[in-house]
Amino acid sequence: MAVRQPRRAVIERAWREIGPGVEVLSADDGGPLSRTVKRIIDPLVLRLRANTRYSAPFVPPDVAAEMRDAILGQADTLRATASWFDLLKRERRRLRITTGNAQELYFPPCYELAVTRGAPGAQDRATAESLLRDIHSDRDRTAVEVLNRHLDDGDVVAALSEQLARSWRDVRAGDEITGPFLAGLSTVLGRAVGHNATVARQRVWSALIADPTPHNLGAAVRRPERVAPWSIVELGLSSVQPQRRPVITGGDGDRPLDRSVADRVRATLRRALARDELPDVPLLCAEEVDRACAPWGLLGEDRQATVIAGIEVGVDLAPLDECAQARHDLSRQIQARLRKEAYVLHARRYLADGGPVHPRQQLVVDELAAFCRPYLSRLWARLHGRDVWQEPCSDIDDVRELLEGISRSVSLDHRQRIKSMLEARDLR
């Protein structure tokens, strides 16, 4: 059988074969920067939207050979792209421009200049200055209003809708078995005593990230027949089963997988502390279309795997049920801490006594009774942010800390709601 190769490894090998001239687009180890892959190689060299066979996490040898030829075939263009980027960075410093991420903003225009004009010469300084002034002249910090204006254009919405239809069709579930992946989760969510066990746990997580199961399960929840081991409605990730295709604007759901592309972009803009480092709104919308259509609404394989790990933890959590047994060590730790919370003990006593519960407290009790819903909703929002900013979930200790932190965040929200209710009652 032909052994499939990780697409990232194929790209890195081909990139290193280019040799000198692309250092400003490369990481310290000689491979391409993450943004080089995201902004140049994937969309412009490999053209993933037209060549969907290049987008699989693992590719067969013949596809790997095609990808290598496509990258090496543009070696001169990529060297010219690097030269243009170097020139734009020098002009950026001269013009004292500090807003925006240079790689995010300049990589595609540099590639376009490399294709149309070749490598820059001494006379091209004026071209670089003009391009920089063009890029930065319309960077409006009130980006939510820019988004609203952008989506008021019917042609824009039509183009995004067409892209969405294509991207949604491109996601298909494979027929690989899910058992090994779910079995591996018991290792990464279990105890690790000693250095060797910790290293082994990280090794297992690295293998799970590369496994097709998260992708397949995320695609399977779109089928009419129930294939996945959970219901996305019961998990609180969607209001309907199977998952519906997202829309560009409008929509009638507030669950993570129900949200429109516009709502997802709006949330990104409102959460962003460094908004200038985001791509411009048109590109942000185009990227979000692909993200909304990806399994679990996330592009990164490591973030998709983290969703499944979060589901495994979330369905274990039952703070109000003293008899509920968690299957994983991490779930047991979180469960024990939740059950010791004063407001949880108070809620259990109230329910045992059968006394009246204040309507606002009832909301908290309802969330405690189905704790995985607020837990997974908050986890998804955090992972969506990581996906937008390309923050990895490759370190298992970081992932475990994230899964624990989400439970504390939900618990803190519950305590704050009860505190506000008591303060309102005291004021009366």
Q: What is the pLDDT of residues 306-344, one digit of tens each?
A: 999 999 999 999 998 888 899 999 999 999 999 998 888
DSSP state of 5: E
Report yes or no: 189 and 326 within 8 Å, Cβ to Cβ: no
Residue 427 has pLDDT above 50, yes or no: no
Residue 360: its pLDDT value, please? 65
And the tokens for 46? 């490999």
Residue 274 has pLDDT above 70, yes or no: no
Residue 2: its pLDDT value, please? 59
> Quick one: 15 exposed, middle or buried, by C-beta within 10 A (0-12, 13-18, 19+)?
buried
Mean pLDDT to the nearest integer, 273-293: 85
Residue 259: its pLDDT value, please? 95
How far, in Å, are 14, 172, 216, 369 from residue 61 at the CA level? 13, 21, 22, 50
* % residues pLDDT > 90 (the chain): 63
Range scoring the smallest mean pLDDT among 65-79, 126-140, 250-264, 390-404: 126-140
| pLDDT tens digits, one per residue of 62-71 | 999 999 999 9
Mean pLDDT to the nearest integer, 48-68: 88
Range scoring the smallest mean pLDDT among 196-210, 242-256, 298-312: 242-256
Structure-model confidence comparison of residues 162 and 149, the more confident one: 162
d(CA 237, CA 231): 9
Structure-model confidence comparison of residues 84 and 418, the more confident one: 84
Residue 354 has pLDDT above 90, yes or no: no
And the tokens for 134? 């063009």
d(CA 307, CA 310): 5
Structure-model confidence comparison of residues 346 and 249, the more confident one: 249
Residue 424: its pLDDT value, please? 53
| pLDDT tens digits, one per residue of 151-181 | 999 999 999 999 999 999 999 888 888 889 9
Mean pLDDT to the nearest integer, 92-120: 89
Kindly give the residue spans of alpha helices, DSSP state H, lying in 294-428.
301-314, 329-339, 342-353, 359-369, 372-389, 396-427
Supply the mean pLDDT for the chain: 89
Residue 273: its pLDDT value, please? 60
Residue 367: its pLDDT value, please? 85
d(CA 28, CA 378): 35
Residue 112 has pLDDT above 90, yes or no: yes
Report yes or no: 60 and 2 within 8 Å, Cβ to Cβ: yes
The set of residues, in sequence order, having a beta carbon less than 8 Å from that of 194 and lying 6+ positions away, is none
| Max intra-chain CA distance, the chain | 83
DSSP state of 26: B
The set of residues, in sequence order, having a beta carbon less than 8 Å from that of 2 and lying 6+ positions away, is 60, 61, 62
pLDDT-based confidence at 138, cuts 50/70/90?
A: low
Q: For 382-386, which contacts have Cβ atoms below 8 Å and span 24 or more sequence positions?
A: 382/406, 383/298, 383/303, 383/306, 383/307, 383/310, 384/256, 384/264, 384/267, 384/268, 384/291, 384/297, 384/298, 385/268, 385/271, 386/300, 386/303
Residue 294: its pLDDT value, please? 96
Residue 197: its pLDDT value, please? 93
Among residues 218, 253, 214, which one has the least CA distance to residue 236?
A: 253
Q: For 395, how many CA atoms within 13 A lie in the half-sphere containing its CB?
A: 6
